[in-house]
């Protein structure tokens, strides 16, 4: 890998993650750290959604199915079977990938796409929510509580800063994964399927295989967010795990931050939750105010910045780069190109 590839590819990720990793060293407020941990969990789920929808063009309304599977797997394996928390977390990620593969196989094999696929994913999430709400091993409507036993071995930390670093590490790993996918053949195939699936098939791309890989990876990433949520809050019920709130959060962040970009989900999650918390400082704890903020931001983004915050940042950088190029001494001293000869001046 050349130095130029490193600087334009992975170096920005390293710089951003390094800056974010310094936050707990200067911020000691548990309220702020709690906000940041929750926002990073949402960003992680949003990264999973972005891989499937942003890069692959397969929009889902039911990513709660993966989030809840990872969360319940982590909780049930610990509480009911006494499995180590880290093992339970990894099993939850694997089950999330399996659920994604099953949903994808049943949907894509049947030729579902667009709004039909989105509604099928929503239906799967609702079915899982109803089952979790009535099953005995999930705790039913009362939910399931992971016993408090603060120890690094139990994936429970006394400091919120430790949870912050764990969440940041997972987000950073997915940032690197997405950048690597962008530069790999799989990423090119994903974009080809997104832009024109029929043309991609004509060029020899196995569209079904590409979409199955994407939804399995997406399910695994979102399940990791669910497992981390369970470890952080130590309580789950069906509405938390499989409720529509996480599906909405997972799709809003990439759309606001920049669909199909590496940093879009992280930027979108920080922007949305930052605005939500800022609004509470001015208007107080009004029920549903965060939903109002999310809806207003979504309307503004769709109307004025359809490529999201990252798209706006990219346009500003290009515009500033163009201005600096025009005003640089080298460009001012460069001679103007000679005019092209007219038809009359062209020799026969």
Query: Is the pLDDT confidence value at 289 over 70?
Result: yes
In-domain check, residue 67: yes
Q: Which residues pair with 235 in a beta bridge?
A: 145
| Percent share of the chain, pLDDT over 90 | 74
Query: Is the pLDDT confidence value at 312 over 60?
Result: yes
Neighbours of 164 (CB within 10 A): 24
Helices marked H in the chain: 3-8, 11-21, 23-26, 30-49, 64-81, 85-108, 115-134, 160-182, 185-195, 197-202, 207-233, 238-242, 244-257, 264-283, 289-304, 308-327, 329-333
**Which pLDDT belongs to residue 106?**
95
Q: Please count the CA atoms within 13 angstroms of the CA of 92 that sit on its side-chain side.
A: 33
Query: Is the pLDDT confidence value at 335 over 80?
Result: no
Token couple for 313: 């940042």
**Which pLDDT belongs to residue 19?**
96
Give the pLDDT confidence of 254-270 residue by residue, as tens digits.
999 999 999 999 999 99
List the CATH number of the domain containing 313. Answer: 1.10.3470
In-domain check, residue 348: no
Q: Find the domain containing 269 and state its range.
A: 10-326
Give the pLDDT confidence of 143-175 residue by residue, as tens digits.
999 999 999 999 999 999 999 999 999 999 999
In-domain check, residue 344: no
Token couple for 228: 């981390």
The whole-number average pLDDT for the span 259-288 is 85
- The predicted model scores a pTM of 0.89
Q: Which residue has the higher pLDDT, 322 or 248?
A: 248
The number of folded domains in the chain is 1
How far does CA 287 lie from the centroid of its chain?
26
Question: Backbone phi, then psi, for 183, in 5-degree steps?
Answer: -95, 0
Query: Is the pLDDT confidence value at 346 over 50?
Result: no
Give the pLDDT confidence of 100-118 residue by residue, as tens digits.
999 999 999 999 989 999 9
* Contact call for residues 72 and 141 (beta carbons, < 8 A): no
Give the pLDDT confidence of 40-55 residue by residue, as tens digits.
999 999 999 999 999 9
* Contact call for residues 227 and 89 (beta carbons, < 8 A): yes
In-domain check, residue 249: yes
């Amino acid at each position: 890998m050349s130095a130029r590839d490193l600087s334009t590819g992975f170096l920005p990720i390293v710089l951003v993650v390094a800056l974010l990793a310094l936050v707990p060293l200067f911020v000691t407020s548990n309220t702020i750290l709690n906000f940041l941990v929750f926002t990073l969990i949402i960003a992680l789920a949003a990264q999973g959604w972005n891989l499937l929808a942003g890069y692959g063009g397969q929009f889902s309304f039911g990513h709660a199915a993966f989030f809840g599977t990872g969360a319940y797997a982590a909780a049930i394996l610990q509480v009911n079977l006494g499995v180590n928390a880290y093992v339970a977390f990894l099993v939850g990620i694997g089950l999330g990938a399996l659920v994604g593969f099953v949903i994808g196989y049943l949907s894509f094999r049947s030729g579902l796409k667009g709004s039909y696929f989105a509604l099928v994913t929503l239906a799967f999430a609702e079915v899982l929510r109803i089952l979790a709400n009535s099953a005995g091993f999930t705790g039913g409507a009362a939910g399931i509580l992971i016993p408090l036993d603060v120890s690094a071995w139990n994936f429970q930390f006394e400091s919120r800063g430790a949870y912050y670093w764990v969440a940041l590490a997972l987000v950073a790993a997915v940032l690197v994964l997405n950048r690597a996918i962008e530069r790999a053949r799989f990423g090119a195939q994903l974009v080809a399927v997104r832009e024109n699936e029929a043309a991609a098939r004509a060029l020899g791309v196995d569209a079904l295989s590409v979409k199955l890989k994407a939804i399995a990876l997406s399910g695994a990433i979102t399940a990791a967010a669910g497992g981390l949520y369970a470890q952080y809050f130590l309580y789950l019920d069906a509405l938390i795990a499989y409720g529509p709130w996480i599906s909405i959060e997972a799709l809003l962040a990439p759309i606001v931050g920049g669909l199909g970009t590496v940093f879009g989900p992280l930027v979108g999650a920080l922007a949305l939750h930052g605005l939500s918390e800022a609004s509470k400082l001015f208007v107080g704890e009004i029920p549903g105010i965060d939903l109002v903020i999310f809806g207003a931001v979504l309307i503004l983004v769709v109307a004025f910045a359809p490529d999201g915050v990252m798209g706006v940042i990219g346009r500003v950088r290009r515009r500033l780069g163009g201005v600096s190029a025009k005003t640089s001494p080298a460009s001012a001293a460069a001679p103007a190109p000679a005019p092209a000869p007219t038809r009359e001046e062209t020799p026969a």
